[in-house]
Structure 1
């Protein structure tokens, strides 16, 4: 008996839903690899950073490190202010240049901050990149419960990060959460395309080479 046309369409749609991109990310796979190595000046090999410590790498010392092309990144963002938009654009440009698998999760207001982080974690990426100061406090709560998931905060930092949370920021961009103050005065004008690009590249290089749970301070 022939299958009615409407039934065939339903079956085709169901098959398409079953092969959604998110399903592929949920499958186990080998740990991601990185190509290249850090140049001298990124970190002092004789004095590696301590947990929650800060390093000040030489500019460009991260340029030789690149993620594998199947590296899976979730861009988690909150807010529509100019600094956040600059960070988002830098992450998207980096992912495109490196031919990475990038998905985005955007928090729809304050009530959606925690759910947005959960949605990002549920995608099982290799790295979650956070852009937007509003995410700092929720991340401080959530990240300690997901120690196998790597996080990179760009343009801000957590005051007491666990080993799976790395930050890349600079003078003018060092928000650490409500009531904790910042290590420098906030200056939206410092969120230039060049600075934001350096933050994602230097931060990702640190994560890819196992230097996690620290702050990468750009000069």
Structure 2
């Protein structure tokens, strides 16, 4: 599951050689509580021949062919994203990356849910694997973040986590020449589980309207 994340460093250095305009969002305001149903920064190719660009896409995936009443998932499971009729065309041709500094999950404790912030121990930018699709409405193309079974210390908080790719996997993930699941798996790897750490944070993060408050990620 990944239903809320933070992106405040605006560091795209790991993608610098691949991205056509790496400074596009250099002056963007940090966001410490990014909710679904909003525009988010995404690295993608608009088509097979286009360069990698960083754009603002809509966090909510619904292919145009599915119709206006179809579901708008924010996540897609790594186990089925390549075979699901809903997601497979995007996995084959429209893969993308969502830069983040960490994400939130809620741990049930004594009948209440305690939010935790999960991030990299080395403070580097996380690149979350995603897929995008043209929605066929007035919104920007829609995005779903791919999730996998939780690894490392993330398992202490939730049973799933976003698929965060290591830096050597970023360009292959965006390469349109890789279209088959086995080929994509052969050139991409998730980050080392030992890099993942987390800490409890204020329940103020439960309110998605406040995404400019840097204190939201502070340990309790």
Q: TM-score, normalised by structure 1?
A: 0.25
Whose strand proportion is higher, 1 or 2? 2
Q: Rg larger in 1 or in 2?
A: 1
Higher helix content, 1 or 2: 1
TM-score norm. by structure 2 comes to 0.25
